[in-house]
Structure 1
Amino acid sequence: MARAKTGTAYLLWALCLFGICGLHRFYAGQIVWGIVYLCTFGLFGIGQLIDLVLVPGMVKTRNDQLRRQYLAEWSDDGLVMPVPMNRKLVTAEGVAQPQDNSMQQLLKAAHANGGKLSKAQVALHTGLSTERVDALIQEALRCGYADITNDPESGAVRYVFDV
């Protein structure tokens, strides 16, 4: 796809110093105004000076026209137009189980074991990964569902649930 460049438009504008005015208008796709500028020496120089400020906008407008024309040609041929899409792809493994469902499993497991569980027992009863078990126990502690204690015989960490 061809694109108009601001630098090229300014070079064509500079040809007015040699008496050739309006070529930048032709370059920007404004044929009628290009002819008017060519015949009137850039509207007697005033239009040429004003265009010094307007050139970037003319180039942007021309590029927009060229882009629309390019996309119209693609759609006329029945081809799919390229459209950028910003989507985050999530794999099935990356989808976490809902918090309530996991917490319900944890509380049911605690109820079945007399209210005391170790991390290994939580993993066994819920089927969750060790990282997910840690996060679930931390959530239970934060919500006040569990307290931390030690087993009097082995000294192992136990989580006591009030169920």
Structure 2
Amino acid sequence: MQQANSGVAYILWCLCFFGICGGQRLYTGQIGIGLIYFFTIGFLGIGQLIDLALIPNMVDKRNLYLRGLHSNGTPSVNQSITLNIGDIPQLQQLQAIQLQAIQPQTLSTGSSMQKLLKAAKEHNGQLSLAQAAMYTELESEHLKELLQEATKIGYAEINNDPNTGAIRYHFDL
């Protein structure tokens, strides 16, 4: 799957020096505003200047959209998340968990999964990443793989805490 690249978007932005504005918007999938930029010379250059700061976010949104299109038919983690400006680090963490390939663990997954499920039962079916680490005593990478496996097989769903916005794993127990 081909992803958008910030470097390419910045190069397309530089085309404005030759009178071609909006290339970065077209590249990140914003066809309508890209055409408007093209015909208005980037809103008389103001929009082009603003885009210098917005390009990384536009590329991230485009890549997130492309990953959703090319998912394997499983429900997207991002469908249940409401994003706020302060959620960007959590979104990146979710993306890392979502994209990480499930590899066979040398540890006993069954016993780790049992510990995870027992911890979830003690906490009314809801765990944070820190709680899961505390109860399973797994290293970060193995814990992420275990939680991803739990979501893949339908044991858990990933949501945000409505009060704090923190990532929570909800188990159907």
TM-score (norm 1): 0.47
Larger Rg: 1
Q: Higher relative contact order by CA 8 Å / sep ≥ 6: 1 or 2?
A: 2
- After TM superposition, the score normalised by the length of structure 2 is 0.45
